[in-house]
């Protein structure tokens, strides 16, 4: 289950209230930093940019592939553990603007997690240690530690125990 805080708005849809929820110059700064990080091939530089300017919590030896898009408004709500891989063109959101409300939620990605390319992670989810998320997945709820998930909507493909058995057998069932 996603853990988000809801903030109702009156009048126009919540996106019209954007600069009441986040300062304009914070968004500008974040946009510039995120665009630099999306295109740089230097993993340590990306992590430094995320930690220093976006105040994200990023573990040692975590790798963000090219074109990863982190939340432009609330990147400080994103935490990624150590030695994880975030695949090409993945989007990690900590906010969502809806018609009558907006929602904010922390995103926690554990240690040694593999996120496949073109995945979208919604606000308020936790992805447990050593989980695998297949390419193109919409992560709309928590992922248990060690599990293999995929699809849209996301479904459990293998449990932690099944994954351990597969690793022991060299990937054979």
**First-residue to last-residue Cα distance in the chain:** 30
- The pLDDT assigned to 163 comes to 87
Q: 4-51: per-residue pLDDT in tens?
A: 999 999 999 999 999 999 999 999 999 999 999 999 999 999 999 999
What does the pLDDT look like over 76-98, one tens digit per residue? 999 999 999 999 999 999 999 99
Mean pLDDT of 71-77: 99
Give residue 114's Cα distance to chain centre. Answer: 11
pLDDT of residue 171: 67
User: Distance between alpha carbon 63 and the CA centroid of its chain, in Å?
Assistant: 13
> Which domains occur in the chain, in start order?
5-168 (2.160.10.10)
pTM of the predicted model as reported, rounded to 2 decimal places:
0.94
- Contacts made by residues 50-56, CB under 8 angstroms, sequence distance 24+: 50/75, 53/29, 54/30, 56/80
Q: Does 136 have pLDDT greater than 80?
A: yes
Three-state SS for 112?
coil
């Amino acid at each position: 289950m996603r853990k988000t805080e809801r903030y109702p708005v009156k009048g126009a849809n919540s996106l019209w209230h954007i600069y009441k929820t986040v300062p304009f110059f914070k968004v500008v700064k974040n946009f510039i930093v995120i665009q630099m990080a999306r295109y740089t091939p230097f993993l340590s530089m990306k992590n430094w940019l995320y930690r220093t300017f976006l105040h994200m919590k990023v573990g040692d030896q975590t790798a963000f592939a090219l074109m990863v898009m982190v939340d432009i408004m609330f990147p400080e709500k994103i935490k990624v553990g150590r030695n994880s891989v975030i695949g090409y063109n993945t989007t990690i959101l900590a906010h969502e603007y809806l018609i009558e409300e907006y929602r904010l939620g922390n995103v926690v990605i554990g240690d040694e997690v593999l996120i496949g390319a073109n995945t979208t992670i919604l606000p308020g989810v936790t992805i447990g240690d050593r989980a695998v998320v297949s390419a193109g997945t919409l992560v709309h709820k928590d992922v248990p530690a060690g599990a293999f998930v995929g699809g849209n909507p996301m479904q459990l493909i293998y449990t932690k125990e099944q994954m351990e058995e597969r690793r022991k057998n060299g990937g054979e069932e």
